[in-house]
């Protein structure tokens, strides 16, 4: 068979892509034929089949053994937990035996420490709660002070806003009045020019010239009076604007002073808050240390409860509160023995 396969493939051309010749699908057909030949050889070789069956049988036994060992480990762990719970129940119910006195002394000592640390923990919780309350009160006190300062600033800000609005109106009034004065100035020049023109007009009769001159001079007088009135009003507007600037500066100074006080209060609040938070953090750290000690006590109790449980299970103290534990332990022992027997029989 080996010689046949060698001679068969040596006569076949290479797959497509490496040389020109056999199509790609023929390559897969030949591969399937090879697999069929290998399977045929395997079916005819009885010794090979037995070896393979033995291999699978041993593997199956190992897997079963591993499963049983896992079950055994789980049951033993369950028994240890039941023994421990039995010890806890015994201690809780106040059941005492001569053989467990040493364990009981250790448990009493640990319980005494637990109560002492628990009391400390409660005191720390009360202290932290008090500090948090004091922090809230402190914050509220500073917030009230800030609110009080804000209320004091409020009328100053409102008056400053009002002055700014009035100032804008005054600026418009001043600008308008300045334009009005400029117009009056131009009117005066025009009238004055007309008066000179009338004097220089030799074609105009003297009587008409005099009448015209009187008329223009009267007009000139009116325009001058209007200009003086406008100038007076302009001075008053500028004076009012200057007064507003002065009041505005005083208001801004008062606002700045109040805002400085607000800032000082906020800084004091922040500093006081940090002080409380630092103290609270320190108490929290100490509290965590106590928690760690309590966790250590619980950890130290576990093997003692287990030892007490073993003693009580061995003595089988007559107490109806413990009967359920005895029953569960016996059931677990039975399962452990059965699993151990199955492991030995594999």
**CATH code for the domain in which residue 226 is found:** 1.10.287.2610
Do 275 and 189 have their domain in common?
yes
Q: What is the pLDDT of residue 10?
A: 46
Residue-wise pLDDT tens for the chain (346 aa)? 444 444 444 444 444 444 455 677 887 888 888 888 777 776 666 666 677 677 777 888 888 889 999 999 999 999 999 999 999 999 999 988 889 899 999 999 999 999 999 999 999 999 999 999 999 999 999 999 999 999 998 998 998 888 888 888 888 877 887 887 788 777 777 766 766 666 655 555 555 655 666 666 677 677 778 878 878 888 888 888 888 888 888 888 989 999 999 999 999 999 999 999 999 999 999 999 999 999 999 999 999 999 999 999 999 988 888 999 999 999 999 999 999 998 888 7
Do 122 and 231 have their domain in common?
yes
The reply to whether 50 falls in a domain is: no
Do 38 and 128 have their domain in common?
no
The reply to whether 185 falls in a domain is: yes
The reply to whether 273 falls in a domain is: yes
The separation between the first and the last C-alpha atoms of the chain, rounded to the nearest angstrom, is: 42
Do 237 and 123 have their domain in common?
yes
Ramachandran assignment for 12, one of left (phi > 0), alpha (psi -120 to 50 degrees), beta (any other)? beta
Q: Choose the final residue of a domain: 267, 288, 309.
A: 288
Do 10 and 157 have their domain in common?
no
Is the alpha carbon torsion for 303, 308, 312, 318 positive or negative?
negative
The reply to whether 318 falls in a domain is: no
Is the alpha carbon torsion for 269, 270, 271, 273 positive or negative?
positive
Do 29 and 178 have their domain in common?
no
Do 271 and 141 have their domain in common?
yes
Do 120 and 13 have their domain in common?
no
Q: What is the pLDDT of residue 12?
A: 47
Rounded Cα distance between 207 and 210, Å, is 5
Q: Mapping DSSP to helix (H, G, I), strand (E, B) and coil, where does residue 97 land?
A: coil
Looking at the structure of the chain, the number of domains it has is 2
- Could you identify the residue written with the tokens 């070896």? 51
Do 247 and 145 have their domain in common?
yes
With contact defined as beta carbons under 8 Å apart, do 313 and 83 qualify?
A: yes
Rounded Cα distance between 2 and 173, Å, is 120
With contact defined as beta carbons under 8 Å apart, do 276 and 138 qualify?
A: yes
Range(s) of the domain holding residue 235: 116-288
The reply to whether 275 falls in a domain is: yes
List 15's β-bridge partners, or say none: 22
- Burial call 65-80: b when 16+ CB within 10 Å, e when fewer: eeebeebbeebeebbe
Token pair recorded at residue 102: 């040493």
In this predicted model, what pLDDT tens digit does every residue of 189-240 receive, in sequence order? 776 676 666 665 555 555 565 566 666 667 767 777 887 887 888 888 888 8
Do 120 and 40 have their domain in common?
no
The structure's pTM equals: 0.57
Q: What is the pLDDT of residue 233?
A: 83
The reply to whether 303 falls in a domain is: no
The reply to whether 64 falls in a domain is: no
Q: Residue 229 — φ and ψ, nearest 5°?
A: -60, -45
With contact defined as beta carbons under 8 Å apart, do 15 and 22 qualify?
A: yes
Q: Which residues contact 179 (CB under 8 A, 6 or more apart)?
A: none
Do 7 and 153 have their domain in common?
no
Q: Choose the final residue of a domain: 44, 59, 74.
A: 44
Rounded Cα distance between 119 and 6, Å, is 90
The reply to whether 109 falls in a domain is: no
Q: Choose the final residue of a domain: 244, 259, 288.
A: 288
């Amino acid at each position: 068979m080996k010689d046949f396969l060698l001679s068969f493939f040596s006569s076949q051309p290479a797959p497509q892509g490496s040389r020109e010749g056999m199509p790609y699908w023929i390559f897969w057909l030949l591969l399937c034929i090879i697999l069929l030949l290998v399977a045929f050889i395997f079916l005819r070789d009885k010794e090979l089949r037995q070896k393979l069956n033995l291999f699978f049988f041993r593997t199956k036994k190992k897997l079963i053994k591993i499963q049983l060992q896992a079950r055994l480990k789980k049951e033993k762990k369950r028994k240890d937990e039941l023994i421990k719970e039995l010890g806890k129940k015994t201690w809780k119910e106040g059941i005492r035996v001569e053989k467990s006195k040493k364990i009981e002394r250790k448990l009493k000592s640990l319980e005494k420490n637990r109560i002492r640390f628990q009391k400390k923990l409660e005191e720390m919780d009360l202290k932290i709660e008090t500090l948090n309350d004091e922090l809230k009160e402190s914050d509220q006190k500073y917030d009230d002070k800030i609110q009080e300062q804000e209320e004091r600033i409020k009328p100053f800000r409102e008056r400053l806003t009002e002055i700014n609005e009035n100032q804008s109106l005054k600026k418009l009034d001043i600008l308008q009045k300045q334009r009005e004065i400029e117009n009056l100035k131009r009117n005066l020049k025009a009238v004055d020019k007309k008066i000179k023109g009338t004097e220089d007009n030799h074609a105009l009769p003297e009587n008409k010239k005099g009448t015209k001159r009187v008329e223009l001079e009267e007009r000139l007088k009116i325009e001058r009076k209007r200009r003086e009135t406008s100038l007076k009003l302009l001075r008053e507007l500028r004076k009012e604007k200057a007064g507003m600037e002065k009041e505005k500066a005083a208001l801004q100074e008062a606002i700045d002073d109040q805002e400085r006080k607000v800032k000082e209060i906020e800084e004091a609040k922040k500093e006081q808050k940090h002080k409380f938070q630092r103290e609270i953090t320190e108490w929290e750290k100490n509290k965590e240390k106590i928690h760690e000690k309590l966790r250590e006590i619980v950890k130290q109790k576990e093997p003692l409860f287990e030892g007490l449980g073993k003693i009580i299970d061995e003595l089988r103290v007559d107490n109806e509160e413990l009967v359920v534990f005895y029953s569960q332990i016996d059931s677990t022992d039975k399962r452990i023995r059965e699993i151990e027997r199955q492991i030995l029989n594999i």
